[in-house]
Amino acid sequence: MPDDKVKIPKNQQFQTPKGVHDILPEDHDYFTYIKKVVRHRARQAGFRRISTPMFEFTDVFKRSIGEASDIVTKEMYTFPDQKGRSLTLKPESTAGVVRSYLQNNLNQWPQPVLLYYIEPHFRYDRPQKGRYRQFWQFGFEIIGETDPALDAQLIQLAMKIYEDLGINDFFSLQLNTIGTPESRKKYMQVLQDYYAGKERSLCEDCKYRLDKNPMRLLDCKAEDCQILASLAPKMTDYLDKESVEHYAELKGYLDEIGIEYTENAKLVRGLDYYTKTVFEFWDKTEGAQNAIGGGGRYDGLVELMGGQPTPAVGFAAGMERIIANMKREKIRVPKKDELHVFVAQLGIEAKKKCLPLIDEMRDAGLKTMGALGKGAINIQLKLADKFKAPYAVLIGITEVRERTAIIRDMKRGVQEKVNFDQITDRLLELIGEENLDKYHPGELLY
């Protein structure tokens, strides 16, 4: 409904709100390609797709991501519905997936449950290069298994996808463990003791975090905070036996499958629900600023959300950042929507003939566009050129009388006359079976 009060001055157009953007057809070629790779790799590894709603009750995120996290304190799009209930656009998907796992009794499925998603997310982040307020992520969740072999497999799956997309060389895997909640509790106390008396050197955010989640001080980007963090006690000195063993086993598996990693004791990730393994893929030159993905283990989350204790591990990657990398490296993706044929006609009788013909050609897998307006043939041919159709079919008054059509090779500028009922077959020959865009009813096209 248009809002009467909003008056748009003449010559001024609406713009998108800050931090969000349209996905135009050229970018959709990238999105489509990435989605295909993700679906292919997910299916190979036994993952099934899930979509959770764009919004959830705010508590789903508060409870899981953590009251003191940046996302919950600063970045959520939260609004009341008509009945005053607090709802939030999803800033990430793990919380919703776990909510869904419990709500739909997925714990009755054979465990572990392997799920993947490809979804938009919303965060009130400060917009800048590679940081938007609506952005797409694909991600994987493995719920119901504690073995570090699964952490390794998940990391390998992420690497495979980056490799398929041609960008794996630009990122380094940063790896850390933040231990079990028990060992973390001890470490957080040690950190608070270390920072006691140093509060004045901390940025405003870290002053607040110190009380709520002191581990976040380790990955703060402010210069003074970084200096203090580099001298802080290390988590690895406070790990319990279970965490040490899990981490050692994980590294062993990564070595076994030949995945290089950099151990990074300051990597903590911003969300409260992580336990033990955390990892991120950092840009080799820009570091964490331009990470293309990250994840970790969240063994306590299912229980925190009201379920039985259930271990889990997950990963998410940012699609806009992947596309930016692919474009920078001039990695081309298939363009599936280029036309094959442009149909030009003259006169009402020709137009009548063209409608069923276009339908027949499309059904045969030829991407066909018909200029069914009133323009002269030469104007329509110019259009065929602009739309980059390799072939044009011309039907004028003479052709209708003769029951023929002219097929014009637009690149070479040569043309041939064919009988009307042979047009489609001849074009199929010219375009080639392998290039057709065929829809086979019954075959799933997703």
Q: Is 69 in the site for ligand AMP (CB under 6 A)?
A: no
Smallest gap from Cβ 44 to ligand AMP, in A, equals: 22
Q: Does 291 participate in binding ligand AMP (rule CB under 6 A)? A: yes
- Closer to ligand AMP at the Cβ: 52 or 368? 52
Which positions from 107 to 136 touch ligand AMP by CB under 6 A, shown as an x/- string? ----------------x-x----xxx--x-
**78 forms bridges with which residues in the sheet?**
88
Distance (Å, rounded) from C-alpha 69 to C-alpha 89? Answer: 16
Q: Which is nearer to ligand AMP, 176 or 380 (CB)?
A: 176
- Please give the Cα distance from 279 to 268 (Å, whole number): 8
What distance in Å separates the CA atoms of residue 160 and residue 44, rounded to the nearest whole number?
A: 11
What would the two tokens of residue 153 be? 């497999």
CB proximity list for 68: less than 8 A, separation 6 or greater: 208, 209, 212, 213, 216, 272
Structural contact between residues 402 and 422, judged by C-beta atoms closer than 8 angstroms:
no
| Binders in 219-248 for ligand AMP, by CB under 6 A | none
How many residues in the shown chain lie near ligand AMP by CB under 6 A?
Answer: 17
Chain centroid, CA 214 distance in Å: 30
Q: Which of 188, 292, 354, 358 binds ligand AMP (CB under 6 A)?
A: 292
> Among all residues, whose Cβ is closest to ligand AMP?
318
For residues 131 to 160, the per-residue mask of contacts with ligand AMP, x marking binding by CB under 6 A and - elsewhere, is: xx--x-x-----------------------
Q: Nearest approach, Cβ of 125 to ligand AMP (angstroms)?
A: 4
Give whichever of 292 and 333 is closer to ligand AMP, judged by the CB atom.
Answer: 292
Rounded Cα distance, 320 and 209, in Å = 29
Write each residue from 85 to 104 as x if it is in contact with ligand AMP (CB under 6 A), else as -, in one continuous string. Answer: -------x------------
* Footprint (CB under 6 A) of ligand AMP, residues 12-51: none
- Distance between CA 319 and CA 339 in Å, rounded? 27
Q: Which range of residues in 229-237, 292-300, 351-359, 378-386 is near ligand AMP by CB under 6 A?
A: 292-300
Residue 313 to residue 158: CA distance in whole angstroms: 13
Smallest gap from Cβ 122 to ligand AMP, in A, equals 9
Closer CB to ligand AMP, 131 or 351, in the complex: 131
Instruction: Count the neighbouring beta carbons within 10 Å of the beta carbon of residue 245.
Output: 12
Question: Minimum distance from CB of 421 to ligand AMP (Å)?
Answer: 53
| Cβ count within 10 A of residue 403 | 10
Cβ 290 to ligand AMP shortest distance, Å: 8
Minimum CB separation of residue 294 from ligand AMP in Å reads: 4
Q: Closer to ligand AMP at the Cβ: 92 or 119? A: 92
Using the minimum distance from each CB to ligand AMP, give the nearer residue, 92 or 299: 92
Q: How far is the CB of 67 from ligand AMP (least distance, A)?
A: 17
Tokens 């406070």 sit on residue: 238
Q: Are 50 and 115 in contact (CB under 8 A)?
A: yes
- Residue 100 beta carbon to ligand AMP: minimum distance, rounded to whole angstroms: 18
Q: What SS3 class is residue 392? A: strand
| Closer residue to ligand AMP, CB minimum distance, 98 or 400 | 98
Contact in structure between 321 and 370 (CB atoms under 8 Å): no
The interface region with ligand AMP, picked from 45-53, 246-254, 288-296, 431-439 by CB under 6 A, is 288-296
The answer to whether 162 contacts ligand AMP (rule: CB under 6 A) is no
Interface of this chain with ligand AMP, residues 294 to 353, rule: CB under 6 A = 294, 316-318, 320-321
Q: In angstroms, what is the minimal distance from the CB of 319 to ligand AMP? A: 8
Q: Is the peptide bond before 112 cis (omega within 30 degrees of 0)?
A: yes
- CB neighbour list of residue 363: distance below 8 Å, 6 or more residues apart: 439
Asked if 293 interacts with ligand AMP (CB under 6 A), we say yes
| Terminal CA-CA length for the chain | 33
Number of helices (H) and strands (E) in the chain: give both, helices first: 15, 16
Say whether 313 sits in a helix, a strand or coil: strand
Q: What are 209's strand-pairing partners?
A: none
Q: Which is nearer to ligand AMP, 27 or 125 (CB)?
A: 125
Among 318, 273, 315, 319, which residue's Cα sits nearest to residue 298? 273
**C-beta closer to ligand AMP: residue 294 or 370:** 294
Q: Which stretch binds ligand AMP (CB under 6 A): 4-12, 41-49, 109-117, 291-299?
A: 291-299
- What are the tokens at 158? 């992420």
163: enclosing H helix or E strand = helix 148-164
Q: Which is nearer to ligand AMP, 123 or 353 (CB)?
A: 123
- Binding residues for ligand AMP (CB under 6 A): 92, 123, 125, 130-132, 135, 137, 291-294, 316-318, 320-321
